[in-house]
Chains A and B, each alone.
Chain A
Amino acid sequence: MALAKFLGRKVAWTLVVFFVALLLNFLLPRIIPGNPVDAIVGGLARGGGTGGEQLEQIHQHYMQEFGLDKPLWQQFFIYIGNLLQGDLGTSFGSYPASVGSLISQALPWSLAIQLPAILIGWIVGNLLGALAAFKGGWLDRGAFIGSLFLSSVPPFALAIILLFVVGAQLGLLPIGGAYSFGLTPEFSLAFFGDAITYFWLPFWSLVLVFIGGQAVGMRSMAIYELGSDYVNYNRGLGVKEGHTIRYIFRNAMLPQFTGLALSIAAIVTGGLIVELVFSYPGLGTLLFSAIGTNDYPLISAITLLITIAVLIANLAADVLTGVIDPRIRAAETGER
């Protein structure tokens, strides 16, 4: 039952981290002098456009919603209780709308960009990196410098350049939003055909950078394997190249799984800004407008969501590594 034990440990660990994240999400804004409501209402008052009576009302509403007149530990339970009921609070920027509804509108767009980008980028990047390491020569040189360059271009920089060259100058693809004006999101071929043209630019800006990063990592890994004893031994025995390459690839692959887990936070962050550049209606754009209007409940809900997404992705990658590599399972459960 080593596998079950391994899974149990991983899940328990994820829950612990999630709890800490919850605590931070709750505490960080509260340890700063002054309470968040005062800050929000103060910000609104400075911005103007909201009357004194309205401000008073909003202030009271939020004091009550956060339970800010109660001691800290009680506030925490109120916070957890609201979360458990799926109540993320009321948005401040677009006042009567609930945070939950705003997020559920934005989330599918973010997922549509990020999930395919992560999967395709990871597979293509690893193949490219391995190929560069084995073939060597000009392919290695070209692929390595190219990948290194791509991986060190900030995704938003690539997004801006793509937007300018392909979108604005050449006019090949639309430059902002997620679908043409006048359409409503629905499951139809016509809508899909329209939305996909808006999808390409943000998708490519994210996936190219990710391919670069993965290829650089895989290349180093594979070169490291190429110099190891079993490869030399196989050569001495006259084992076929293809056979050895398969060993190398499998060994070099393992750290890449861990690498995937660790880079998910980075790619999610990158994706947020890329959305912003294309005003793609996902979480990044929502976060941007929330920060612009000091919409505190919305900001904290989005950060919590990002944390959850990254934790789940990490857990998946960890479990996958453990399933593939028995050594990791054994080491984790203390059998080795």
Chain B
Amino acid sequence: MSLRGLSLRFWVAATLVAFVFLVALVGPLIVSTNPDATVGGLYEEPQCCGALILGADNEGQSVISNLVYGTRTSLIVGIIAGLIGTAIGLLVGLVAGYRGGWVDDVLSAIVNVGLAIPVIVIVILVSVSLPQRNLYTLALVIGFTGWFWVARAVRAQSSSIRTREHIDVAKLSGAGFWSILRRDVLPYLLSYVVMAGILQISSAILFESTLSMLGLGASGTTSLGTMLYWAIQWGSVRTGAWWAFIPPTLMLTLIVFSFLLLQSSLNEVFNPRLRRGRAARKKAAKEGTELETPIEGDDAGPVGSGGFLETPVSAGQDR
């Protein structure tokens, strides 16, 4: 896959994602104001240059500083939770699909039950009961409850790979169970897992902000969700203090949108059937190679991890 094959949409998405990471990583270095320090009055208006460039929030803290630290927090939670969710889902899905038999039956039953119960319910119940909530417990809770659809989708694909000939060859040559999974099954799913991982991260970020807005956020840390929680609590929308809620809202939207755009553009790269337009078709004809058809499973396609996302990862998986 050459770099020139990537669509404009991919580059736009990659630029936006890079920008988000830049804000989260470099932002706190540039904005040296402590997000917990009181630097202004209640909802002090934005003024040029300095800690109050985006005004102050209900506690007189600098909004710009909260914004960059909050973005970092949201990304940390999202990435930890997303990686945990994808890893568990991948493992369960691979084992269930490849092993088959009773292992598959048991694991699939668990996954189906998990998919039927709304994630938010479990997350709320666990977070309410936790004696204390910090960044990492929140990420763990979200990660451990959001893996079900990844498992289902991976299972559908790995069980279709199980019957392929190269698996028999691997078995005959004496490869062990885990070695076959890693070297002969996993590579076929890798593109899919990458996309699922991106979706997991963006939905985990949304989940964190949802929980924070409900008042179940991490204590002692600023995140985009907790900023919105305070903005709503203190009625900043009604008083017209736009600088308190518009920046975190836009930041969250930007994060989620850029991740989804990245996922959907990668989807087009991995899944050529979705490509539209004459240019793409001409290119495929010129290359003269039949690109491998996506593996078809009986799965209904991951539909967010119970967050707000309803974008099917790949149309090919649905029939």
Seen from chain A, the residues whose Cβ lies within 8 Å of a Cβ on chain B are 14, 16-17, 20-21, 24-25, 28-29, 32-34, 36, 39, 136, 140, 148-149, 151-157, 160-161, 163-164, 167-169, 175-176, 209-210, 213-214, 216-217, 220-221, 223-224, 227, 255, 258-259, 262-263, 265-270, 272-273, 276-277, 287-288, 291-292, 294, 296, 299-300, 303, 306-307, 310-311, 314
CA distance A151 to B312 in the complex (A): 11
In angstroms, Cα B98 to Cα A67, docked, is 46
Do A164 and B216 contact each other (CB < 8 Å), given the known contacts A36-B129, A255-B300, A303-B125? no
List, sorted by A's number, 29 A–B pairs whose CB atoms are closer than 8 Å: A17-B113, A21-B117, A24-B121, A28-B126, A32-B129, A152-B260, A152-B311, A154-B252, A156-B210, A163-B237, A164-B237, A168-B237, A175-B237, A216-B312, A221-B315, A224-B273, A224-B274, A227-B273, A255-B312, A259-B300, A259-B310, A259-B312, A262-B310, A263-B304, A266-B307, A268-B118, A268-B120, A269-B308, A291-B128
CB distance from B116 to the nearest CB of A (A): 4
Interface residues of B in 81-114 (CB under 8 A from A): 112-113
Size class of B's contact patch? Answer: 35 or more
Interface string of B235-264 (1 = CB under 8 A from A): 001101010011001101100110111001
Contact B131 A259 (CB under 8 A): no
Compute the total of residue contacts between A and B using a CB distance below 8 Å. Answer: 206
Q: Which residues of A contact B129 (CB under 8 A)?
A: 28-29, 32, 36, 39
A311 and B303 alpha carbons, distance in the complex (Å): 16
CA distance A167 to B237 in the complex (A): 9
Q: Which of A24, A32, A33, A288 contacts B122, CB < 8 Å? A: A24
A300 with B125: CB separation less than 8 A: yes
Give every chain B residue within 8 A of A276 (Cβ-Cβ). 213-214, 232
Highest count of chain B CB atoms <10 Å: which of A152, A153, A221, A277: A152
* Nearest Cβ on chain B to A125's Cβ, whole angstroms: 9
Q: Which of B197-229 contact A (CB under 8 A)?
A: 202, 206, 209-210, 213-216, 228
Contact (A224, B118) CB under 8 Å given A262-B303, A299-B124? no
Are B311 and A216 closer than 8 Å at their CB atoms?
A: yes
**C-alpha gap A227/B315 in the complex (Å):** 12
Interface string of B282-319 (1 = CB under 8 A from A): 00000000000000000011011011111110111011
- Whether A156 pairs with B128 at a CB distance below 8 angstroms is no
Closest to A30 in B: B129
Instruction: Return chain A residues, CB-CB under 8 Å to B311.
Output: 148, 151-152, 213, 216-217
Other-chain residue from A39, A148, A221, A288 in contact with B318 (beta carbon distance below 8 A): A221
